[in-house]
Amino acid sequence: MRRLLVRSLAAVVVALAVTAGLGAASPASAADEPVVVVGTEGTYPPFTFHDPDTDDLTGYDIEVVKAVAKEAGWRLTFVESSFDSLFVALDSQRIDVIANQISINPEREAKYGLSTPYTYSRGVIVTPSDVDDITTLKDIKGLRAAQSTTSNWAGVAKEAGAKIEAVDGLSQAAKVLEQGRADVIVNDNIAILDYLATSGTKKIKIAGEAEGQQTQQALMFRKADSQLKEQADAALQTLRDDGTLKRISEDYFKADVSIEDGGEAQAEGRAGRSALDVVKDQAWPVLKALVKVTIPLTAISFVVGLALALGVALARISPRRLLSVPAGVFISIVRGTPLLLQLAIVFYGLPEIGLNFDRYVAAVLAFSINIAGYAAEIIRSAILAVPKGQTEAARTIGLDYRQTLRRVVLPQALRTAVPPLSNSLLSLVKDTSLASTILVVEAFRVTLNAANESTEYLALLILLGFYYWVVCWILSIGQRRLETRLDRYV
């Protein structure tokens, strides 16, 4: 019994180590250059987005932070995530700097280390095209504003008396506005121009200036990392002096937004493409994410989860209260709390008490614990469903506890457990999409990024749904084969 528990635990540790190896796919760092992890949305063109042709991460903010890194001697790793998650990620040391048009305001200056500004911009108010009576911030009082909740623009809208409808990024906000689910957006002038140019939409328009909202954007570090901030400031000064910033800005905006009054920014947008083209372009990247991240994440979590579940189930059945009570509590907690919450606790919460896991490890840990809670009950009832006479017969021919379990009870319990365990596995395949909330770039995140970028939500989400369905269909065929095999002696 104890040895079985120890073995289960050992299996867990090994699997975690393996995933840690997987997660450490970030480039090996040269000894002398510090690795700086950059957090960015990757879905906020023209500042941070994926080039539709090459799928490479690019944009004004990306090029600026790359130029800064070159000056400061950093090696960069990029992590993409929704805007709201960037702040938690910075706090929990998942990332070291945010390059995502972070507007300077007093609250942020108090809490974080902000570089000198590299963008000067202003806010605008966006409304549906057929609305004429909203032109100033005063007019949005009481209206529904679609905003990323932690963004500076959400603060501006809230200040003006609007109700915030939380979204994941600008193109989602625009969709929501077009669909009539919100009344207004307050956002950066350049970003809006880019969206209008790219999407070609006539349904929404810039209705007016968010007066008094001339803002400056900067790189944001943790307050404690003052050395990184100072290096960034020095690098920005050099880049300003040698004209690099101006050149990058003019590439994107035909104006220098890195200084005040550098001219009126323009956005060309990117060529609009048909939904079919977008789906064709994304079919491979999404499939790649499914095969390289979603499926391994599912497989490893399921195996680790089952090993844990066996230990928990045996502890639960044990006559010793020292084992059965904790097992019962564990099951109750896992089944009584949302998976999303469990992920957030492992990834964002545990670092506060010094347990800082890589995002892939954190995902495997949370998913395995979740599977363990549910599968433990399945295994427990499957074991109890094996007739008592089987255990008695095994004991009378001299088998000990472990031999009885391994050779007599578990093979028979397996037949009972396969259908419900298959259900758990199918659920897990799809539940891994929740890992997108803890910076894991799996199939759902890749699809959502592409959808935010192209604004082709329906087509891309159906594509992803189709992929998930195929994986589950293949698994259910496997389940049927396994059941047939196990039925051979019944």
Partner 1 sequence: MTTPLVRVSGLTKTFGDTAVLKGVDFEAAAGTSTVLLGPSGSGKTTVLRSLDTLEIPDAGVVGIGDVEVDFGTLPAQGRDREARLRALRAQSGIVFQQHHLFPHKTALENIIEGPLVAQRRPRDEVVAEGRALLAQVGLEDREDSYPSQLSGGQQQRVGIARALAIKPRVVLFDEPTSALDPELVGEVLAVIKDLATQGWTTLIVTHEIRFAEQVADQVLFLDGGVVVEHGPPAQVIGDPQQERTRTFLRRVLHPGA
Interacting residue ranges for partner 1, rule: CB under 8 A = 387, 389-390, 392-400, 403, 407-408, 411-412, 488-490
Based on CB atoms, which residue is closest to partner 1, 275 or 386?
Answer: 386
Based on CB atoms, which residue is closest to partner 1, 110 or 397?
Answer: 397
Q: How far is the CB of 416 from partner 1 (least distance, A)?
A: 12
Q: How far is the CB of 408 from partner 1 (least distance, A)?
A: 6
Is the CB of residue 475 less than 8 Å from the CB of residue 485? no
CA 432 to each of CA 64, 449, 474, 475: distance values in angstroms, whole numbers, following the listed order: 33, 16, 17, 16
Based on CB atoms, which residue is closest to partner 1, 399 or 475?
Answer: 399
Q: How far is the CB of 367 from partner 1 (least distance, A)?
A: 31
Phi, psi of 305 (to 5 degrees): -60, -40
Find the angle CA(342)-CA(344)-CA(345) to the nearest 5 degrees.
65
What is the Cα–Cα distance from 188 to 472, expressed in whole angstroms? 42
Q: How far is the CB of 391 from partner 1 (least distance, A)?
A: 9
Task: Tell me 29's DSSP state.
Answer: P
Q: How far is the CB of 487 from partner 1 (least distance, A)?
A: 10
Query: In 318-400, where does DSSP find H-type helix?
Result: 321-336, 339-344, 359-385, 388-396
Paired sense of beta strands 97-103 and 163-166, if any: unpaired
Based on CB atoms, which residue is closest to partner 1, 227 or 390?
Answer: 390
Q: How far is the CB of 324 from partner 1 (least distance, A)?
A: 16
Q: How far is the CB of 381 from partner 1 (least distance, A)?
A: 19
Based on CB atoms, which residue is closest to partner 1, 212 or 411?
Answer: 411
Q: Which residues pair with 120 in a beta bridge?
A: 216
Q: Residue 422, SS3?
A: helix
Task: For 180-210, give the DSSP string.
Answer: TS-SBEEEEHHHHHHHHHHH--SSEEEEEEE
Q: Residue 320, SS3?
A: coil
Q: Report helix, strand and coil shares of the chain as percent, to nearest 5.
A: 60, 15, 25
